């Protein structure tokens, strides 16, 4: 009898922040890993850290390249690795007014945040379904649950797409034991706001910041339990409940008063 291949977790955007925290949490749970991101040296450093616990494969890829998803899956197949868990985490923001960036910047953003996610999921879904206990974890944002803020015009819509995408995947694949989850964290300590250049200007109360390790643990726990939506942190769960009961016009007015405190233009 042949020995079944181990099921790997493929984590995109694994070089820092929530992605790296998710990789560490899966390693703690003895799940072998495939790490991908643009920065090879960051991936190798994380892989060296985690290899004492699990097998870690590194496959650098820039998901801004439309050819990257197919190339990444081809490399995984070349190495005869079986993906049981897909974590679509890679992402960033384009700050400023919508007409303040050229279309190429917006097109690249959409490629990374939506198109690459859809293509990777489509290409890997047969293997995930074949596992019998496959998992898909899409790292969205609390922004998906709120009216959109000015200053990052495509960010909330892209994250809202991930939420709806996760819901549909959960329904379509439940018959094969696949759990699909949208992880919707609020403000999380990572490099995200440093990359967009907004951290120094943000006025967010310290109690509203989450730790990446806590977000990772909540997301994986929720996914394992079959939850389609995971909102880490009781403060954010309370805020979500409150906003859901506000009239849409009132929620929009609330965002208009507060969005520039967190994303100044």
71 band by pLDDT with thresholds 50, 70 and 90: very high
* Neighbouring C-beta atoms of residue 129, cutoff 10 Å: 15
- The reported pLDDT for the residue numbered 254 is 73
Catalytic residue among 8, 26, 155, 236: 155
**Model confidence pLDDT, tens digit, residues 182-224:** 999 999 997 765 554 554 556 788 999 999 999 999 999 999 9
- The reported pLDDT for the residue numbered 255 is 73
- Does pLDDT of 92 surpass 90? yes
Report, as an integer, the average pLDDT of 151-172.
96
Report, as an integer, the average pLDDT of 138-160.
92
- Residue 85 gets the label, from left (phi > 0), alpha (psi -120 to 50) or beta, of beta
Q: How large a percentage of the chain has pLDDT more than 70?
A: 91
Work out the burial of residue 189: count CB atoms within 10 Å of its CB; fewer than 13 is exposed, 13-18 middle, 19 or more buried.
middle
Report, as an integer, the average pLDDT of 110-129.
98
Q: 7-262, which class in CATH?
A: alpha beta
- Does pLDDT of 42 surpass 90? yes
Known active-site residue 155: yes
d(CA 57, CA 47): 7
pLDDT, the chain, mean? 91
- The reported pLDDT for the residue numbered 262 is 56
Cβ atoms of 204 and 262 closer than 8 Å: yes
- Residue 151 gets the label, from left (phi > 0), alpha (psi -120 to 50) or beta, of left
- Does pLDDT of 5 surpass 70? no
- The reported pLDDT for the residue numbered 198 is 53
């Amino acid at each position: 009898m042949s020995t079944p291949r181990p099921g790997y977790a493929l984590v995109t955007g694994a070089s820092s922040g929530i992605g790296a925290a998710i990789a560490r949490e899966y390693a703690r749970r003895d799940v072998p890993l495939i790490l991908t991101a643009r920065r090879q040296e960051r991936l190798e450093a994380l892989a060296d850290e985690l290899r004492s616990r699990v097998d870690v494969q590194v496959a650098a890829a820039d998901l801004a390249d439309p050819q990257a998803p197919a190339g990444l899956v081809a490399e995984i197949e070349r190495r005869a690795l079986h993906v049981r868990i897909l974590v679509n985490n890679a992402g960033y923001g384009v700050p400023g007014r919508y007409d303040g960036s050229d279309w190429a910047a917006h097109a690249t953003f959409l490629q990374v945040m939506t198109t690459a996610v859809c293509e990777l999921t489509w290409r890997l879904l047969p293997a995930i379904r074949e596992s019998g206990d496959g998992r898909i974890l899409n790292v969205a944002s609390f922004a998906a649950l709120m009216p959109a803020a000015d200053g990052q015009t495509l960010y909330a819509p892209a994250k809202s797409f991930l939420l709806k995408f996760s819901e549909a995947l959960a329904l379509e694949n439940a018959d094969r034991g696949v759990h699909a989850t949208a992880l919707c964290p609020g403000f999380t300590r990572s490099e995200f706001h440093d990359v967009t250049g907004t951290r120094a200007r943000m006025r967010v109360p310290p109690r509203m910041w989450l730790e990446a390790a806590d977000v990772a643990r909540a997301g994986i726990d929720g996914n394992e339990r079959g939850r389609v939506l995971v909102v880490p942190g009781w403060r954010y769960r309370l805020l979500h409940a409150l906003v859901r009961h506000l009239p849409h016009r009132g929620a929009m007015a609330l965002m208009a008063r507060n969005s520039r405190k967190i994303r100044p233009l």
